[in-house]
Amino acid sequence: MAIIETKNLTVIFDMPNNTRITVLEDISFTLEEGEFVAILGPSGAGKSTLLRATAGLITPTHGEVLYRGKLVEGVNLGVSMVFQSAALFPWLTVLENVELGLKAKGISPKERREKAIQIIDLIGLDGFESAYPKELSGGMRQRVGFARALVVEPEVLLMDEPFSELDILTAENLRNDLIDLWIEHKIPTKSILLITHSIEEAVYLADRIIILDKNPGRIKQEIYVDLPHWRDRDDEAFTRFVDRIYGIMMGKALVTKPIRPERYTTPFPHVRVGAIAGFIELLSDLVDTRVDIYKVAEDLQMDVADIQPVIEAAELLKFIDTTGGDIIITEEGKIFAEADVLEKKQIFKKLLLSHVPFIQQILQVLNNKSNHRMPVEFFIELLETKFSESEAHDQMEIAIDWGRYAELFAYDEDSKEIYLEEEIVES
């Protein structure tokens, strides 16, 4: 039986510069009783927005959220939430933080204390009742976050990347404790909805994974993880799941996505040249020609969330090719990895000019001006027709970084102008 259902959920934010950003588009899914569902997606896929819409913290622009068949208006009373940063109130003790939700429900002080102490014991916070959050380690703080969410005995527990700010060991420890509470039915929670950007975490915990695409956030695919708990990360079946999901997340195969003919629609991944160059060099040391993306992340000891933009950038410039979940270094990539500093700049320049239309456009504008200078605002405004204001600034920053490295143009921070350097103009 479905506890929560979203129907054609679309969330559009009005930005201050009068642009509208579609964060979520046409999301329909159900959360069944007894299910642990993970929502997986890259940053910018609107995962958090989806979670908040489910909780009733954000009203969707179109579509609706149903809780046990009833339309959710305002806060969804059947849910409770664990936040990324734990969001504990620093002026309240552990006990007071946990009791807060019960206070709102108007439960008597005595009963409140009993329930709070009970959940504190269950979650392993025994002895820390009178401590303030700043006295606790990150892991302990997040435990309080769990206790605070669970003490109100919600039917659905929503979790917003609750492990992402913890170190590896603490996170794993807390994940296992959560699984234990869940599969042993130590908590009355009927369903869990987890937001995460870690594929492994999703495969480790969830019964079903909903993969989101970004710009705008849409459901790309759903996968049932039919592995029994406790799952073993070294198990071959586990790795196969992880691999498959990597492939889906990296793949460009989303049939319904319209191909837009406009220029500079592909946003620059937020990656500086240094990171791209370093990545290509490391990659060429690691492998010969073809490699599994999952293995690369593992070998580089990086999280997929951190490495994904670098991969995107490298692919945008055709240093690599990632069709179907594998990374293949292209010829240019190989040459680039071996080249010295000046040669590297040359190769980068060539690739930038042939694969990034926005850079071409900047050059065109500068060449057409008699003084070869243009205020950066001009280009930012161009970008703002496609991106939010802050995103447009970020995009411009990356464009300048790449363009400077390739010595295509220069940028004067004081006058805020982009210009062609003398030698470039002459040649």
Partner 1 sequence: MLYKTIPIKRIKISVIDLGIILFLFAFIYGIVSTAKGWRESPGYALNISLSFSNLPYYAWLSLLRQFFAYILSLNFSIIYGYIASHNKGLEPFMISLLDILQSVPVLSFMPGVILGLIVLFPYGRVGVELGSIILIFTGQVWNMAFSVYGSMSSIPREFNEAANVFNLTSFQKFLYVELPYSTIGLVWNSMMSVAGGWFFLMACEMFTLGKRDFRLPGLGSYLQLAAIRGDTRAMLVGLGVMVVIIIVIDQLVWRPLIAWAQKFKVELSSEEVVPRSMIFTILQRSTITHLVGGTLENFWEKISKKFPSRIYTSSRGKASSITRVIMIGLFGLVIVYGCFRLSIIISNIPISRWGEILLSDFLSFLRVSTAVLLSILWTLPLGVYIGMNPRLSAVMQPLVQIFASIPATAIFPIILMWLVNLKGGLSVASILLMLLGTQWYLLFNIIAGAMSIPAELKEASYIFGLKGMDKWRKLIIPAVLPQLVTGAITATGGAWNASIVSEYVHFRGTTLSVKGLGAMISSSADKGDFGVLAASTIVMIITVTIINRFFWRRLYWLSEEHHSL
Return the residue of 20, 103, 263, 369 that touches partner 1, per CB under 8 A.
103
Which residues, numbered 6-45, are part of the site for partner 1 (CB under 8 A)? Answer: 13
Distances in whole angstroms, Cα of residue 226 to Cα of each of 19, 205, 249, 294, 398 = 43, 11, 20, 21, 42
Pattern 398-417, binding to partner 1, x per CB under 8 A?
Answer: ----------------x---
Contact at 8 Å (CB) between 149 and 80? yes
Assess 117 for contact with partner 1 (CB under 8 A): yes
Q: What is the dihedral of CA 147, 41, 305, 330, to 10 degrees?
A: 160
Closest to 324 in 3D by CA, of 289, 290, 277, 287: 290
Residue 276 to residue 116: CA distance in whole angstroms = 50
> Which residue's CB is nearer to partner 1, number 127 or number 324?
127
Question: Across the strands, what pairs with 199?
Answer: none
- Cis peptide bond upstream of 216, omega within 30: yes
Given the rule CB under 8 A, which of 123-131, 296-304, 314-322, 353-361 is the region that contacts partner 1? Answer: 123-131
Return the residue of 24, 27, 40, 55 that touches partner 1, per CB under 8 A.
55
> Which residue's CB is nearer to partner 1, number 88 or number 250?
88
What minimum distance in Å lies between the beta carbon of 171 and partner 1?
18
Return the residue of 1, 18, 71, 106 that touches partner 1, per CB under 8 A.
106
What minimum distance in Å lies between the beta carbon of 416 and partner 1?
10
Residue 392 to residue 386: CA distance in whole angstroms = 8
Residue 56 to residue 51: CA distance in whole angstroms = 9
> Which residue's CB is nearer to partner 1, number 81 or number 209?
81
Closest to 101 in 3D by CA, of 149, 146, 155: 149
Tokens of 395: 């995009």
> Which residue's CB is nearer to partner 1, number 100 or number 287?
100
> Which residue's CB is nearer to partner 1, number 160 or number 213?
160
Tokens of 262: 């406009």
What minimum distance in Å lies between the beta carbon of 267 and partner 1?
24
Tokens of 72: 């959710």
Return the residue of 17, 43, 73, 233 that touches partner 1, per CB under 8 A.
73
Return the residue of 134, 184, 226, 285 that touches partner 1, per CB under 8 A.
134
Q: What are the b/e assignments for 354-370, b being 16+ CB within 10 Å?
A: eebebbbebbebbeeee
Given the rule CB under 8 A, which of 112-120, 175-183, 229-237, 287-295 is the region that contacts partner 1? Answer: 112-120
Which region, left, alpha or beta, applies to residue 156 given φ > 0 means left and ψ of -120 to 50 means alpha?
beta
Tokens of 261: 């003919």
Return the residue of 10, 38, 141, 223 that touches partner 1, per CB under 8 A.
141
Q: Residue 280: is it exposed, middle or buried by C-beta count within 10 angstroms (0-12/13-18/19+)?
A: buried
Assess 188 for contact with partner 1 (CB under 8 A): no
Return the residue of 9, 31, 50, 79 that touches partner 1, per CB under 8 A.
79
Assess 83 for contact with partner 1 (CB under 8 A): yes
What minimum distance in Å lies between the beta carbon of 384 and partner 1?
20
Rg over alpha carbons for the chain, rounded to the nearest Å, is 25
Pattern 322-361, binding to partner 1, x per CB under 8 A?
Answer: ----------------------------------------
Residue 230 to residue 175: CA distance in whole angstroms = 11
Interface with partner 1 by CB under 8 A: which residues? 13, 52, 55-59, 73-75, 77, 79-81, 83-85, 87, 89-92, 95, 100-101, 103-106, 113-114, 117-118, 127, 129-130, 132-134, 141, 148, 152, 414
